[in-house]
């Protein structure tokens, strides 16, 4: 029996040896693949008129697509203190341009990570013209206090850095003369008409409120006295700010130049500490007694408190908890990650109300997980 096993093992090792591919062979296969793609690109060259038509058709497929095709951010000069507004095409427009341009290869990856920065790399290769470029983009992974981001936030930052890198690579390869008219069309479509102004303005103001940005801060950013003074041009700028935050190029605090105590959801920190959290009537009839306010943390907390399945925090209570966390310097993604790890709960929809004292203790006593 042992001789048969030894023979089977030797046969398997021989098969593995036969199927193992050397690095040189992999390089040859990769080169052959690229050579085939280049030959195909030369056999079916792109047509500029067709590119423009395909790209414009995709861009104007709906208003939502056009609205996502540009960004707006500001940079303050540390020496002069002057603020410079930077506008440009977003990763969404890069996707459209690449799909319509054709005969291209593009990719992105994380090129490196150290204590303070993560580096994203984007690659773009024009197979027809045989031009290629590699772009690297760095993003900080520590906050202003020097705390390093959590693993989840580092992953989000890495994705944003690599997306920005591949976007820049694509716009390096595709001539600006071809994509600039598309960028202008996107802004024009996003500007819209007067008859839809109220609806789109309300939608963006609702989004701003959900991010903890008050109407006063939005108006200050746009340079208008009130919400009703936000016109079509200001709406385009606000949409660009939204795209900037969504793509990870700036945080909400950076985009709106906010002080930490200005970041709020429905209420300020002082109101949150003093205002009781209301229990829904139906839940109050069936659920066991639980804490109904944000109390001071107990002196000793169990490592894994029991999960009360009787009632979960409602939407208003979750918002107040988020506000409290942000006033303590926490990122919401880190708050949710901590709740999952320590309490095996499923935020934001399933946070047991009985955990509220333990969660607030963490926020009061531990530094943010940046």
**Which residues share a beta bridge with 23?**
none
Residues in the chain predicted with pLDDT less than 70, given as ranges, are 1-29, 195, 259-310, 368-370
Q: How many residues does the chain have?
A: 370
Domain extents in the chain: 48-185, 197-260, 269-280+289-298+307-365
CA gyration radius for the chain? 27
Name the token pair of 36.
Answer: 């085939």
26-65 pLDDT tens trace: 566 677 888 888 888 889 999 999 999 999 999 888 888 8
- Distance, in Å, from the CA atom of 60 to the CA atom of 264, rounded to the nearest integer, reads 36
87-127 pLDDT tens trace: 899 999 999 999 999 999 999 999 999 888 999 999 999 99
pTM, whole model, 2 decimals? 0.57
- Report the percent of the chain where pLDDT is more than 70: 76
Buried b vs exposed e over 349-365: b needs ≥16 C-beta within 10 Å? Answer: eebbbbbbbbbbbbbee
Listing DSSP states for 57-75 in one string gives HHHTS-HHHHHTSEEEEEE
């Amino acid at each position: 029996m042992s001789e048969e096993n030894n023979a089977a093992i030797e046969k398997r090792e021989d098969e593995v040896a036969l199927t193992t591919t050397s690095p040189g062979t992999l390089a040859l296969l990769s080169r052959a693949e690229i050579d085939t793609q280049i030959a195909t690109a030369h056999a079916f060259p792109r047509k500029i008129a067709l590119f423009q038509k395909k790209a414009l058709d995709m861009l104007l497929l709906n208003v939502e697509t056009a609205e996502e095709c540009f960004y707006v951010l500001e940079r303050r000069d540390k020496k002069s203190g002057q603020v410079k507004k930077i506008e440009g095409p977003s990763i969404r427009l890069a996707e459209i341009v690449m799909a319509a341009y054709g005969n291209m290869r593009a990719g992105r990856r994380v090129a490196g990570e150290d204590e303070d920065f993560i580096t994203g790399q984007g690659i773009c290769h024009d197979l027809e013209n045989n031009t290629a470029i590699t772009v690297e983009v760095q993003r900080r992974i520590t906050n202003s206090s020097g705390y390093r981001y959590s693993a989840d936030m580092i992953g989000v930052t890495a994705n944003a850095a690599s997306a920005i890198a591949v976007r820049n690579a694509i716009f390096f390869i595709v001539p600006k003369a071809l994509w600039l008219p598309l960028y202008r069309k996107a802004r024009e479509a996003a500007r819209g008409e007067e008859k839809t102004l109220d609806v789109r303005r309300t939608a963006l103001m609702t989004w701003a409120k959900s991010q903890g940005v008050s109407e006063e801060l939005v108006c200050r950013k746009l340079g208008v006295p009130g919400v009703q003074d936000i016109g079509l041009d200001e709406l385009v700028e606000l949409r660009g700010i939204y795209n900037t935050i969504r793509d990870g190029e700036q945080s909400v605090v950076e985009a709106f130049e906010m002080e930490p105590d200005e970041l709020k959801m429905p209420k300020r920190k002082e109101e949150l500490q003093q205002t009781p959290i209301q229990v829904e009537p139906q839940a109050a009839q069936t659920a066991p007694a639980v804490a109904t306010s944000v109390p001071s943390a107990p002196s000793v907390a169990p490592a894994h408190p029991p999960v009360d399945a009787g009632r979960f925090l409602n939407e208003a209570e979750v918002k107040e908890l988020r506000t409290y966390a942000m006033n303590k310097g926490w990122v919401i993604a880190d708050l949710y990650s901590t709740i999952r790890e320590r309490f095996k709960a499923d935020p934001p929809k399933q946070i047991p109300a009985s955990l509220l004292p333990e969660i607030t203790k963490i926020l009061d006593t531990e530094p943010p997980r940046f």
